[in-house]
Amino acid sequence: MTGLNCLVTGATGYIGGRLVPELLDAGHHVRCLARTPEKLRDHVWAGRAEVVRGDVTDAASVASALQGIHVAYYLVHALNAGSGFEERDRAAARLFAEQAEAAGVRRIVYLGGLAPADVPARELSPHLRSRAEVGEILLAGAVPAAVLRAAVIIGSGSASFEMLRYLTERLPVMVTPSWVSTRCQPIAVRDVLRYLVGCATLPAEVDRAFDIGGPDVLTYEEMMRRYAVIAELPHRLILRVPMLTPRLSSHWIGLVTPVPRALARPLAESLRHEVVCAEHDIARYVPDPPGAPIGVDQALDLALRRVREADVTTRWSSASLPGAPSDPLPTDPDWAGGSLYTDHRERDVNASPGALWRVVEGIGGTNGWYSFPLAWAVRGWLDRLVGGVGIRRGRRDAARLRVGDSLDFWRVEEIEPGRLLRLRAEMRLPGLAWLEMYVEPGPGGTGRSPAVSRFRQRALFHPHGLLGHLYWWSVSPFHAVVFGGMARNIARAAERLDTGGR
C-alpha cells in the first residue's frame, strides 16, 4: 500500500510529537495542525512534515487542514485547562468529526484514557470522563474511528511517568494517598506509538474502541518500587494516608515535584480508579511483534536509558536529535526528563579560537584545572578515601585528547577538535556529572583574528535520589570560585598564549 495522507493534531504534545516521525518512517505523508507552528521548527522531522496553523475549535482551520487527508489523528485534550474544559473538549470533538466527514476522511484515530467499565460516568474523575466522552463522540460520527484507551504511559516526558519519577527520586520515605494501592495496567510509549501507526491501515469496517496496555497489572506503589530498583535507588518506605484527597494530593505533588499542580490534580484524581484492560483485541489488527507488549521493568529501563548513556547533547540541549520514542523533544515541558542542575559560564576572550582551543585541550594532568588547585586536590583526596580514582591518573598525552581518554577523575566522552570538549565525571558521586567546554568565534569575528573568541563552559549534574539533590546544593555555593575561576583563568591563559605566538 502506498503511503497515506495523515493529519496529526496535538503535534506539540507528548504523543503527537513522537508519532509524527513514526508515521513518516512508515512511509506516510504527514500534516500537522498546530496553534503555534513555530514550536515545531526545532524537531528533527520538521523538514519532512507539512505544518499548518490552526485550532481544533476553529471550523475553518480544521476543514482546511483535513483536505486530502486519509487518516486523522485526534490527540488533543484540555488536561489542565481549568473549569469548563469538558464542554470545550466536547465541542471540539464534535466539530472535528463533522469536518472529517465533510472532507471525506477515511478514518479517525484517537488516544483516550482507560476507564473502569463498572464505574458510572458521573463517578469518574472529570479528566477520565471527558476522555471517554470524546471517544464516544468520535465513534458516533460517520467516519470510522479507532479509539485507543490507555492507562499510565511509561516514557520520559509523559506526565504520569514524570510524576512517578520525581516522587520516587526525591522521597526515600513517602507519605502517600490511598490511591497508590489502586491497580493499573501501564503501557510503554513505544507500544502506544506502534498501535497508533498500525491503526492507519485498519480495515474500513473497524469502528470501535480498543483497550491497550502492557503485560503487567500492578499498583502505583509497586511501580514506584520497581522504578527504585531500575534506577538503582535504595528501598523506598511508603506510608499510605487515607485522608489525602485528590486536591490535597495535587498540592503535595506540586510541593515535591516540578509537575504543575494544575496538571497533577487531574492525574491524581484519575489514579483513584482501577484501570485494567478488559480485552486485547487490537492484536488481531496490529499483531504484537516478539517481545511486545513491553513489560513495566523494560519500559522503565528504556525511559531512564538516556540518562545512563549520558547523551547530554540530545538529552538536555535545545537541538535535540531524538533516536527513540523515549528521547526528549524540543516541545517537552521544562520539568520533563528528570532533574538536571547546571552551572553555566561564558566569556569573550581576547585570543584566537585556535589559542583558546589549545588551552582547553591541554587541561588537567600536570597542566592543572586553572582554578583553586587546593580545592581540586581536596576533591581528589576525598574521592580516593571512598574508593574512587582521585586525580592520580593524569592524562595520556600532554597536548592531545581523544574520546575515551582518562583525564584525572574525568573521562573524555566527546571531542570536536577546535570546538567542543565534553568530560564525564568518574569520581564517586550521588549522580552523573559532566563538564563541557566550547570554543566559538565571538560576535562579528571571523575565527581567524584575535579578540573574537567566546568561551562557554557548562557543568551538569543529574542527581541520583535525594542524596544527589543535597550534594548539589551543598557544593553550589563554591561554584563561583571553582567554575567561575576556571573560565576566567582559561581565558587569560589563552590570551597569554596568543600574545606569545604573535
Tell me what pLDDT residue 281 has. 96
Tell me what pLDDT residue 479 has. 87
Tell me what pLDDT residue 324 has. 46
Residue bearing the bigger pLDDT, 232 or 438? 438
Collapsed DSSP state (helix, strand, coil) of residue 146: strand
For residue 363 the three cell numbers come to 587541561
3-state helix/strand/coil string of 346-409: EEEECCCHHHHHHHHHCCCHHHCCCCCHHHHHHHHHHHHHCCCCCCCCCECCCCCCCCCCEECC
In order, the DSSP letters of 237-289 are EEEE-TT--HHHHHHHHHHHSSS-HHHHHHHHHHTTS-B--S--THHHHSPPP
Kindly report, residue by residue over 94-124, the tens digit of the pLDDT.
999 999 999 999 999 999 999 887 777 777 7
Question: Is pLDDT of 149 > 90?
Answer: yes
Collapsed DSSP state (helix, strand, coil) of residue 154: strand
Confidence of residue 262 (pLDDT cuts 50, 70, 90): low
Question: Is pLDDT of 306 > 80?
Answer: no
Q: What percent of the chain has pLDDT over 90?
A: 44
Kindly report, residue by residue over 77-93, the tens digit of the pLDDT.
865 555 677 888 999 99
Mean pLDDT of the chain: 83
Tell me what pLDDT residue 126 has. 79
The pTM is what? 0.76
Tell me what pLDDT residue 410 has. 86
Across residues 150-162, what is the average pLDDT? 87
CATH number of this structure's domain 341-501:
3.30.530.20
In order, the DSSP letters of 312-333 are HHHHHSSS----STTS--TTS-
Pairing of strands 208-211, 145-150: parallel
Q: Where are the domains of the chain?
A: 5-316, 341-501
Confidence of residue 328 (pLDDT cuts 50, 70, 90): low
Across residues 394-402, what is the average pLDDT? 83
Question: Is pLDDT of 16 > 70?
Answer: yes
Question: Is pLDDT of 134 > 90?
Answer: yes
Distance (Å, whole) CA 207 – CA 138: 10
CATH number of this structure's domain 5-316:
3.40.50.720
Tell me what pLDDT residue 189 has. 93
Confidence of residue 163 (pLDDT cuts 50, 70, 90): confident
